[in-house]
Amino acid sequence: MKYSRPKGTRDILPPESLRKHWVETKFRKIVERYGFVEVTTPIFEHTELFLRSTGESTDIVTKQMYTFTDQANRSLTLRPEGTPGVVRAIIENGVKIPNRFFYIGPMFRYERPQKGRYREFYQLGVEIIGEASPEIDAEVIEIGANFFSAIGIDDCLTQINSVGCPKCRPKFRQELVNFLTGKQDKICQDCQIRLTKNPLRVFDCKNEGCQKIYELAPKVRASLCSECADHFKKVITALDQRKISYTINDRMVRGLDYYTKTAFEYISTKLGAQDSLGGGGRYDNLVEELGGPKTPAIGFALGEERILIVAQPPNRVVQPRLVAIIYWSEKELPYAKQLAKELRNIGISVYLNYELKKLRTQLGYANALNARYAIIIGEDEVAKNVLTLRDMESGKQETISYQELLTRLTTT
């Protein structure tokens, strides 16, 4: 019997796993520069958490959750996104400072798999809990933009909008309902349900016919209260001051219920249908909604698989200072073992195979492992106490002393 992976999941093997590691390392470096610390929360949470935060009428909750009952009859759900778990953890553990968190991990959504869309996918996310300034909105957007340019994504468009707050949104909702009244027979069945349950969600619809109708719908920004309008203006000014380019997208309301004020998305022109590299926004009521004190918050999450489609890691993501030791015959193995031990002791990664293979096969392994160098040891090398160093990128070989080898490995 052969087993295959479940639909919509992926095995991440080399060289893809090396590219993934490269992207995650870049992400960590950038967010740590802005004072973020890592958090890890459970892969599954009580289902209720997502109903309360992501939103009962969202596509995620109504169609995409992996929900199951455990042995004690509790309803649990594989997390479809990271924000609710992080907020729950902050409240449950009473954390106030630090208040800037990042996470990297798998999320689960039952969606129709296609390029850039999986049922298990990785998100790189940040959440800032407890800061209300529009300056922080601009800073969060800047972090994503900086990250994309650090990994060679040069076609990223940042779209921004304001989705208002519980004070001004009812007015917009009413205007939208008025606009759609009489057009019910022209919109899809899902949208007809959305219209009765949570009208703003109609903007999440992917149906082209529906989208055409919504092009003429009222704009949320026109209904903002003075506080939300002022906040949006200040975010725009802060983005301009930071020289972050963006476009305002009046139709973008984001597919989750907790957003207030600023909402944004990073779009790539190279991705086709699944063009959102990531998205986020402010969620000033979620902490309170989940039982904490009234606390403003903002964050984003980026889709790692989509990033990997358009990012430009170096052609060969070389394993960090990995060298492969290659030997001609069993006689040189003790020498090779001693050398491996010494190099590992000074922090150099070494691949050494204990089953003697042909030289060409061993070089093939070094190549497949993306090793930076191969060190070749034969009778001659042992007798003269030298080593043959092969640069795996250029194929150039030279004979050098042990001291020279150390200099090379620690400086390149």
Chain residues in the site for ligand HAM (CB under 6 A): 81-83, 109, 111, 116-118, 121, 123, 125, 127, 255-256, 276-281, 283, 299-301, 303, 305-306
Q: Which residue lies nearer to ligand HAM by CB, 259 or 327?
A: 259
Q: Which residue lies nearer to ligand HAM by CB, 250 or 404?
A: 250
Please report how close the Cβ of residue 408 comes to ligand HAM at its closest, in angstroms: 41
**Bridge pairing between strands 397-400 and 373-377:** unpaired
Q: Which residue lies nearer to ligand HAM by CB, 110 or 351?
A: 110
Residue in the structure block whose two tokens are 């993501």: 317
Using Cβ positions, the residue closest to ligand HAM within the complex turns out to be 303
Please report how close the Cβ of residue 222 comes to ligand HAM at its closest, in angstroms: 24
The token pair at 314 is 């170096």
Distances (CA, A) of 266 to 19, 27, 167, 178, 274: 21, 15, 27, 31, 12
Please report how close the Cβ of residue 78 comes to ligand HAM at its closest, in angstroms: 12
- Could you give the strand order of the β-sheet that contains 387-391, starting from the edge strand earlier in sequence? 349-352, 322-327, 373-377, 387-391, 397-400
Q: Which residues make Cβ contacts (< 8 Å) with residue 45, sequence separation at least 6?
A: 76, 77, 79, 84, 85, 88
Q: Which residue lies nearer to ligand HAM by CB, 100 or 306?
A: 306
Please report how close the Cβ of residue 83 comes to ligand HAM at its closest, in angstroms: 4
Residue in the structure block whose two tokens are 């933009």: 145
Q: Which residue lies nearer to ligand HAM by CB, 172 or 258?
A: 258
Give the whole-angstrom CA distance, residue 364 versus residue 362.
5
The token pair at 216 is 């003429």
Residue in the structure block whose two tokens are 């076609």: 155
Please report how close the Cβ of residue 112 comes to ligand HAM at its closest, in angstroms: 9
